[in-house]
Amino acid sequence: MTTTLTAAEQAWQLLEGLSDPEIPVITLRELGILRDVREGAAGLEVVITPTYSGCPAMGQIEDDVKAALATAGLQATVVTQLAPAWTTDWMTDAAREKLRAYGIAPPHACASEKPGAANVVQFAARGAKPEAVHCPQCGSANTTETSHFGSTACKALYRCLDCMEPFDYFKPY
């Protein structure tokens, strides 16, 4: 029995391995940027959500999506969806591990991931100690933030005080 894939199913397969242009070890799907592939009234649509509204990689991501689909003769409209806003909650566990192995400390859990927490803005209590950011090289929690912005706006620059290596920390959103 031969199964024929729909255009949307074929597109998902083609896009499954498409990597993020800024962090090539993780895919757009693992990162949570690739939200949906659907057949709309005007044809195939691929829905992507930026990690933040000013993400400079979105144009490259759109081009990469169209090029990947073109290899199979598919055309699609790429729809950038801003709501709901992207959150690090959408990252897969595999993406978090790949970040660590690549030398980027993965984000801590957001407040919305913690049991019993409401999905609202929560302010830290005065004097509350932030969670330690572990060095992706040696695993030490003896780290310090050297700049709130790292190689991209969605990352902060840290230094490990044990192995002295600098590294990016993917900030939780």
pLDDT the model gives residue 128: 64
Cis-peptide into 166, omega within 30 deg: no
**Least confident window among 40-44, 90-94, 97-101, 112-116:** 112-116
The answer to whether the beta carbons of residues 145 and 82 sit under 8 Å apart is no
Kindly tell me the burial class for residue 112, based on how many C-beta atoms sit within 10 Å of its own C-beta (0-12, 13-18, 19 or more): middle
* Average pLDDT rounded to a whole number, residues 12-41: 94
Amino acid of residue 152: T
pLDDT the model gives residue 109: 80
pLDDT the model gives residue 130: 77
Domain ranges of the chain: 7-80, 91-170
Tell me how far apart the terminal alpha carbons of the chain are, to the nearest angstrom. Answer: 46
Amino acid of residue 84: P
pLDDT the model gives residue 79: 95
pLDDT the model gives residue 124: 56
CATH of domain 7-80: 3.30.300.130
pLDDT at 62 over 70: yes
CA distances from 17 to 24, 27, 31, 39, 43 (A): 10, 6, 12, 20, 22
* Residue 166 dihedral angles phi and psi, to the nearest 5°: -80, 150
Say what percent of the chain tops pLDDT 70. Answer: 88
Residue 127, token pair as written in the block: 């004097």
pLDDT the model gives residue 154: 86
